[in-house]
Structure 1
Amino acid sequence: LKPGDRQRHVRAWEVWAATGTPLSVWQDGKAEPAPWKFVTLLLSPDRAWLRRRIETRFDAMLAGGVLAEVHAVFERGPDPAWPGLKAHGAPELFRCFRGELSVDDARRIAIDHTRQYAKRQMTWFRHQMTPDFVLDPMTDQVLGESEKFLDKSEP
């Protein structure tokens, strides 16, 4: 682990605390093949739909009072390393409360950052495995295709 990688250090400690076994032992171990058959589904929505959905969701959060919620956290002066402060929109709203951004600019930047994150997720998923199905979650085919696959599987 790199010395400055706080997130991985915390995770390694959590694994050790929960199991009594260092993470490195788990990672070096030879895994037994799973006794189950897995199906991998990659939900890949239309990009234009996803962009609109991200914007709509952030606007709903603003309408639902996220400014007051984040401001209450801001007022407490939390440790900047706290993982919750990395939530989508939180850094931008904190900048707004410090007077560095207007609410409109914070909204726009937060939406852009969330879109970039969604794009990185899709890139990551494409390079992890070859999914059995790549499905558009906006269609009814997701459930139907999953059921067809499961019906063909052995018990």
Structure 2
Amino acid sequence: MKKPLVMVGGPTACGKTAMSIELAKRINGEVISGDSMQIYRYMDIGTAKVTEEEKQGIPHYLVDELNPDEEYNVMIFQQKAKNYMNEIWAKGKVPIIVGGTGFYMNALLNDTDFTETENDTSFREECYKQAQSEGAEVLFERLKKIDPEYAQTIHANNVKRVARALEYHFLTGEKFSQHNAEQKEKESPYQAAVIILTMEREKLYQRINHRVDLMMEQGLLAEVKDLLEKGYSSDLVSMQGLGYKEFMPYFRGECSLDDAVEQLKKGTRHFAKRQLTWFRRQIDGLWVDLSKADFDLAMTDVMEYLKERKILEE
């Protein structure tokens, strides 16, 4: 019999944290972060990391487990998440994966096999070096020629994923888009329910702008400065994350603080748009529009869906 798994995905600032906490309370669940940034220590404000108060006593995993200079990728996420899922099931509880990194969540849901390429990292390292010396666009142009379909799904500046797709083609001769399509056809090994939160675009963008203003009030600038003073290079993958990279030009004296904040708002809005596009194309599940229904009504729909998916007893 398949074990239960609940996923809550969607764009940044759409209410995933609140939904996951309420779900965990109602279905006896524990939360595993499906976010590529909340795993890092010292990066709290910029990642909108769940606070102790917000957790309301619900255990959370894959939060604050690595330093910003430690490697984290989809394979590491998949391995760690599976270990925690087994621990949660052993307690008779339901694991709830929550996050906006759809690529990670999909890899877990479909149990994507990365073993054939996980040991040879030399090509990937060469890609990183090329991006650093010649710019991310050069790598992205290579990908567009090899796999235009996959290139449409990611941003040119996402060097990690561009390099991953180029590496996959180099090692296997196959397109990464083809690999993803094949993996998507696989039946999930879990009794899974996927909830994808969405929101009317204008309202979502307002929430994003307000969240960035709040982050600044909470001390985001000091957080970024502290990371740099701790010796974490601006070239690190973690420091290239939203909420951090936008302030590097400010600290180098290349732009004003207002410009950096505006860049963060703009970048986050674009990121949310790409997240929604990705979820629409890649994952099937219950879509919940929180701009059309209040939270209690949305929760009623979600609980009905969990019964349909046999996560809950009728």
> TM-score w.r.t. structure 2 length?
0.39
Of the two structures, which has the highest relative contact order with CA contacts closer than 8 Å and spacing of 6 or more?
1
- Tell me the residue number matched to 1:44: 198
Q: List aligned pairs for 1:3-152, cutoff 5 A.
A: 11=73, 14=76, 23-24=115-116, 34=189, 36=191, 38-131=192-285, 133-138=286-291, 139-140=294-295, 141-152=297-308
Identity %: 28
Amino acid at match of 2:223: E
Deviation at 1:83, TM superposition (A): 2.3
Classify the secondary structure of the residue corresponding to 1:63. helix
Amino acid at match of 2:270: Q
Amino acid at match of 1:135: V
Q: Distance in 2 between matches of 1:10 and 1:61?
A: 24
Q: Which has the higher strand share?
A: 2
32 and 115 in structure 1: CA distance in 2 versus 1, 3 angstrom threshold: closer
Deviation at 1:45, TM superposition (A): 0.9
Deviation at 1:25, TM superposition (A): 7.9
Q: Distance in 2 between matches of 1:101 and 1:34?
A: 49
Deviation at 1:33, TM superposition (A): 5.1
Q: Distance in 2 between matches of 1:125 and 1:107?
A: 27
Structure 2, unaligned stretches of length 5 or more? 1-70, 81-112, 119-178
Amino acid at match of 1:90: Y
Cα shift readout 1:60-86 (whole Å, capped 9, x = no counterpart): 111111111111223345333322212
- Tell me the residue number matched to 2:6: none
* Equivalent residues of 1:89, 1:111 under 8 A apart: no
> TM-score w.r.t. structure 1 length?
0.73
Deviation at 1:56, TM superposition (A): 0.8
Cα shift readout 1:46-102 (whole Å, capped 9, x = no counterpart): 111110111111111111111111112233453333222122221111111111110
* Equivalent residues of 1:43, 1:135 under 8 A apart: yes
149 and 84 in structure 1: CA distance in 2 versus 1, 3 angstrom threshold: same
Q: Which has the higher helix share?
A: 1
Cα shift readout 1:74-133 (whole Å, capped 9, x = no counterpart): 3345333322212222111111111111011001011100111110000000001332x2
Q: Pairwise CA RMSD of aligned residues? A: 3.4
Structure 1, unaligned stretches of length 5 or more? 1-8
